[in-house]
Chain A
Amino acid sequence: MSPSVRLQEMIRVIRSARTQCEERGVIQKECAAIRAQFRQADNGGRSHNLAKLLYVHMLGYPAHFGQMECVRLIASPRYSEKRVGYLGAMMLLDEKQDASLLITNSIKNDLSHSSPYVQSLALCTLACMGSAEMCRDLAPEIDRLLKTANAYIKKKAALCAVHIVRKVPELAELFNTAARSLLTEKNHGVLHGAVVLITELCERNPSALPHFRKIVPDLVHIMKGLVMSGYSPEHNVAGISDPFLQVRILRLLRILGRNDDEASDAMNDLLAQVATNTDSSKTAGSAVLYETVLTIMDINSECGLRILAVNILGRFLLSNDRNIRYVSMMSLQKIVQTDHNAVQRHRGTIVDCLKDQDASVKRRALELSLALVSAANIRSLMKELLLFLSCCPPELRAQTASGIFSAAERFAPSQRWHIDTALHVLTTAGGDVRDEMVPSLIQLITTATELHCYTVHKLYRALVADISQQSLVQVACWCIGEYGDLLLRGECEETEPVQVTEDDVLDALETVLQSHMSSPATRGFALTATMKLSTRISRNVDRIRSIVSIYGSCIDVELQQRAVEYNALFKKYDHMRAAVLERMPVIDRSSPGHDNGEPAMIQAPDKTKNNPVVTLTQEPTNQARDLLDLLGGSDEPAQPSTVQPAPAAPVPDSGSAGGDLLDLLGGLDSIPDPSVTVYEQNGVTVKLRCDRQTDVGVTATLVASNTTDSDITQFTLQAAVPKCVQLQMRAPSGDVLPARGAGQVTQTVHLNNPNKVSLRMRVRLSYCSGGSTCQDTVQVDSFPASASH
Chain B
Amino acid sequence: MIKAILIFNNHGKPRLIRFYQYFAEDMQQQIIRETFHLVSKRDDNVCNFLEGGSLIGGSDYKLIYRHYATLYFVFCVDSSESELGILDLIQVFVETLDKCFENVCELDLIFHMDKVHYILQEVVMGGMVLETNMNEIVAQVDVQNRMEKSEGGLSAAPARAVSAVKNMNLPEIPRNINIGDINIKVPSLSPF
Contact = CB atoms under 8 A, between A and B. Distances in A.
B182 to A, nearest CB: 52
Contacts of A330: 83
B181 interface: no
Given A152-B140, A234-B135, A244-B132, A8 B111 contact: yes
A739 interface: no
Contacts of B114: 7, 51, 54, 84, 87
7 contacts: A45-B153, A58-B17, A79-B147, A159-B128, A160-B126, A237-B88, A286-B84
Interface stretch (B47-55, B158-166, B170-178): B47-55
Contacts of A570: none
Contacts of A323: 47-49, 83-84, 87
A95 B129 CA distance: 22
B98 interface: no
Given A59-B14, A159-B130, A327 B83 contact: yes
B140 to A, nearest CB: 7
Contacts of A358: 43, 46-47
A155 B51 CA distance: 32
Prevailing SS type, chain A contact patch: helix
Nearest to B136: A189
A360 B46 contact: yes
Contacts of A87: 114, 117-118, 121
A244 B47 contact: no
A163 B118 CA distance: 20
Interface in A39-74: 44-45, 47, 51, 54-55, 57-60, 62-63
A196 B29 CA distance: 31
Interface in B55-88: 82-85, 87-88
Interface string B117-152: 110010001111111110110001001100110010
Contacts of A51: 113-114
Interface of A: 7-8, 11-12, 15, 44-45, 47, 51, 54-55, 57-60, 62-63, 78-80, 83-84, 87, 91, 94-96, 115, 117, 123-124, 127-129, 152, 155-156, 159-160, 162-163, 188-189, 192-193, 196, 234-235, 237-238, 242-245, 247, 251, 283-284, 286-287, 290-291, 322-327, 330, 357-361, 363, 395
A586 to B, nearest CB: 38
Contacts of B132: 188, 192, 235, 237, 242, 244-245
A518 to B, nearest CB: 28
B46 A189 contact: no
A706 B143 CA distance: 81
B22 interface: yes
A78 B113 CA distance: 21
B105 interface: no
A283 B87 contact: yes
B133 A188 contact: yes
Interface string B7-21: 000000010111010
Contacts of B88: 237-238, 243-244, 283-284, 287
Contact of B128 (A8, A196, A284): A196
A212 B149 CA distance: 45
A235 B88 CA distance: 13
B84 to A, nearest CB: 4
A237 B89 CA distance: 10
A316 to B, nearest CB: 11
Nearest to B84: A287
Nearest to A64: B25
Interface string B85-106: 1011100100000000000000
Contacts of B85: 243-244, 247, 287
Given A79-B147, A188-B133, A60 B25 contact: yes
Given A62-B25, A283-B84, A192 B50 contact: no
A363 B52 contact: yes
Contacts of B151: 78-80
A234 B133 contact: yes
A326 B49 contact: yes
A394 to B, nearest CB: 11
A156 B133 contact: no
A357 B43 contact: yes
B169 interface: no
A245 B110 CA distance: 32
Given A11-B111, A44-B153, A128-B20, A163 B126 contact: yes
Contacts of B89: 244
Contact of A189 (B87, B92, B131): B131
Interface of B: 14, 16-18, 20, 22, 25-26, 28-29, 43, 45-52, 82-85, 87-89, 92, 110-111, 113-114, 117-118, 121, 125-133, 135-136, 140, 143-144, 147-148, 151, 153-154
B76 to A, nearest CB: 15
B89 to A, nearest CB: 7
Contacts of A62: 25
Contacts of B131: 155, 189, 192
Given A59-B14, A96-B22, A363 B129 contact: no
Given A58-B16, A128-B20, A159-B128, A360 B140 contact: no
Nearest to B22: A94
Nearest to B32: A60
Contacts of A291: 82
Contact of B130 (A94, A129, A155, A238): A155
Contacts of A79: 147-148, 151
Given A234-B133, A323-B48, A360-B50, A57 B125 contact: no
B4 to A, nearest CB: 12
Given A163-B126, A243-B88, 8 more contacts: A60-B26, A87-B114, A87-B117, A128-B20, A196-B129, A287-B87, A290-B82, A291-B82
Contacts of A84: 114
Contacts of B147: 79, 115, 117
B22 A124 contact: no
Contacts of B135: 234
A80 B113 contact: no
Residue with the highest number of chain B CB atoms closer than 10 Å, among A59, A284, A360 = A360
A425 B45 CA distance: 32
Contacts of A78: 151
A124 B43 contact: no
Given A15-B110, A323-B49, A357-B43, A127 B126 contact: yes
A251 B126 CA distance: 20
Given A44-B154, A60-B25, A79-B147, A247 B133 contact: no
A360 B47 contact: yes
Contacts of B126: 124, 127-128, 159-160, 162-163
B154 to A, nearest CB: 7
Given A162-B128, A243-B88, A286-B84, A326 B148 contact: no
A80 B145 CA distance: 9
* 10 tightest A-B CB contacts, nearest first: A127-B126, A287-B84, A358-B46, A322-B47, A94-B22, A80-B148, A60-B29, A326-B47, A244-B132, A323-B47
A358 B84 CA distance: 17
B133 A83 contact: no
A45 B155 CA distance: 10
A202 B57 CA distance: 23
A184 B37 CA distance: 46
Contacts of A326: 47, 49, 83
B46 A322 contact: yes
A244 B25 contact: no
B110 A83 contact: no
A357 to B, nearest CB: 7
Contact of B129 (A12, A60, A94, A192): A192
Contacts of B49: 323, 326-327, 360
Contacts of B129: 192, 196, 244
B103 to A, nearest CB: 19
A83 B132 CA distance: 22
B47 to A, nearest CB: 4
